[in-house]
Amino acid sequence: MSAAPPRLRCDRVRKAFPGVLALDDVSLEVAPAAIHAIVGENGAGKSTLVKILSGAVVADAGAIEIDGRPANITDARSAQHHGIAIVYQDFTLAPDLCVSENIFLGRWPRTRRTGWVDFTSLHREASNLLAALGIELPVRRSVSALAVAQQQMVEIAKALSLDARILILDEPSAVLTPHELQALFTLVRDLKQRGVSVIYISHRLDEIFDIADTVTVLRDGRHISTRPIQGVSRSRLITDMVGRELKDEFPSRLCPIGDVVLQIENLSAKRRFANVSFEVRAGEVFALTGLVGSGRTSIAKTAFGAVRATGGTVAVCDRIGPFAKPYQAIAAGMAMLPEDRKQEGLLLERTLRENVTLAHRKAAAVAGFLHIGRERSLARNLMADLKIKAVSTESLVATLSGGNQQKVLLARWMSLPHRAIFFDEPTRGVDVGAKYEIHTLINRLAGQGVAVVMISSELPEVIGMADRIGVMHQGRLTGILDNRRRQVTQEQIMRLASGEEARP
């Protein structure tokens, strides 16, 4: 008797998007009833692989086999048909429907006589399914009334209601507290006992060592290694993920650090964070890091007047806040590059010219009237200065790549005299080359005497760029690490971020 075929086999799967080779001949085997972690930095190809398995995108080349039989996944339905179920980072639940309705969305039982929805059997089936999975949830409660962790359980139940043989969890821990995470792990181990193969996508190594049997590293769209978790060291995984020494990855910065420019004292915002204090000096890069939801972004938004402060002060040189509205913060010399470029930063359907001059329209105006010629030359200069790749100043921003879009946002703030700038995840979704350029621009701003606050979840970026590192845990600043020698370790940061240790 030969060994059972792998549950999932990807053979030289390839996918190119305009300008990037997202997956470059990736081959991978997932054993039946195994928990298989896939790790890698942003842009490594994890999400493209998930999209191919879910049928959201179709591979350009390569083959996929499930239980030894070739599987042709062309859309979400055929992925379902092959027993693949996915829980995405962003939930896909209908918030106003109840738990049962969500689990069986689109497959509600009907009564025979009237053809209306048979709620009695709907709730019964949902209860049975949840009981079988060992999940306790009120089936009649609407999903919007549940906690995030419970919503995730609904997603998992929904995914498994179709007899899934492969469950893909895409960054499941991003929204969970440590306690909730343990509950998720219990469920995942239980599923493994029932013969389900779980693909666990994450960039948090602690979790991987906790839950996975096997770990695969992807980098720049290529398969780097697949190893059983026993016998793999953490540093080995990091080397595989990063692929090079950190030293060369970040441009060096040699500028004097001056006086205090930005001073945040006991700043609080209701239900987001409390009593955060730090100061940033001219020419200094201060990084704020911590898990998603730990309050980093809220601090930036509150300091910038986009979220209401419930206590404390924000001071930029002699201008004392908190500022009630962003325009007041800008007038005080602050700027902010938001985390979500498309939702909070760009006017996608407008031109590059209109986007780069948005925050300083006055520079292209006389007495309130815009001078389009002047605006255009302003935009052209910024394009050249920041090496923004676009056909012209009149190109729609929606047509630019992620890195260039980020540079458009940078350009928006570049030509204004600023004292303090917040960068929220400045290099998320940006390719390696553009990353380096953005880091160089951050250094250039610091060199001009600007106080820079950089929010980032990428620890290598934090360690490679910051002079000091503030670490957040559940709305509190648990410590500030001195990183002038670039010698802080990821472990030091993670200890503070997980709340294991707090330093005043």
Partner 1 sequence: MSKTHQQTARAASASSDRRAAARALAVVHWIVRLRMLVVLTLLVVAVTILTDGDFAGPKNLINVARQISFEALIAFGMTLVIVTGGIDLSVGSLVALTGVVAAVVMQATLDWAAPACILAGLLTGCGVGALSGTISGSVITRFSIPPFIVTLAAMLIARGFAFIACSGQTVYELPPGLIVLGRGFVLEGVLGKVLPVPVLIMLLGFVCFQILLSRTIFGRGVIAVGSNEEAARLAGIRVARTRLIVYVLTGALCGIVGVMQDAKLMAGDPKVGEMWELNVIAAVVVGGTSLFGGRGTIWGTLIGALIIGVLNNSLNLLHVEHFWQKVVLGLVILLAALLDAALRRLGRQ
Residue ranges that bind partner 1, judged by CB under 8 A: 304, 306, 325-327, 330-331, 336, 338, 343-350, 354, 358-359, 361-362, 365, 368-370, 372, 396, 412
Q: Which residues contact 120 (CB under 8 A, 6 or more apart)?
A: none
Which of 208, 346 has the CB closer to partner 1?
346
Pairing of strands 222-228, 319-320: unpaired
Which of 345, 403 has the CB closer to partner 1?
345
Bridge partners of 273? Answer: 269
d(CA 186, CA 426): 35
Q: Which residues contact 358 (CB under 8 A, 6 or more apart)?
A: 347, 412
Of 402, 353, 339, 362, residue with least CA distance to 382: 353
Q: How far is the CB of 378 from partner 1 (least distance, A)?
A: 13
Which of 250, 423 has the CB closer to partner 1?
423
Q: How far is the CB of 330 from partner 1 (least distance, A)?
A: 4
Which of 56, 358 has the CB closer to partner 1?
358
Which of 330, 469 has the CB closer to partner 1?
330
Which of 83, 338 has the CB closer to partner 1?
338
Q: How far is the CB of 74 from partner 1 (least distance, A)?
A: 25
* Contact criterion met (CB below 8 Å) for 42 and 33: no
Q: How far is the CB of 375 from partner 1 (least distance, A)?
A: 9
Of 161, 239, 229, 171, residue with least CA distance to 199: 171
* Contact criterion met (CB below 8 Å) for 8 and 65: yes
Q: How far is the CB of 381 from partner 1 (least distance, A)?
A: 19
Bridge partners of 214? Answer: 36, 228
Q: How far is the CB of 30 from partner 1 (least distance, A)?
A: 40
Strands (E), 178-252: 197-201, 214-219, 222-228
Which of 368, 504 has the CB closer to partner 1?
368
Of 438, 427, 488, 464, residue with least CA distance to 249: 464
Q: How far is the CB of 21 from partner 1 (least distance, A)?
A: 24
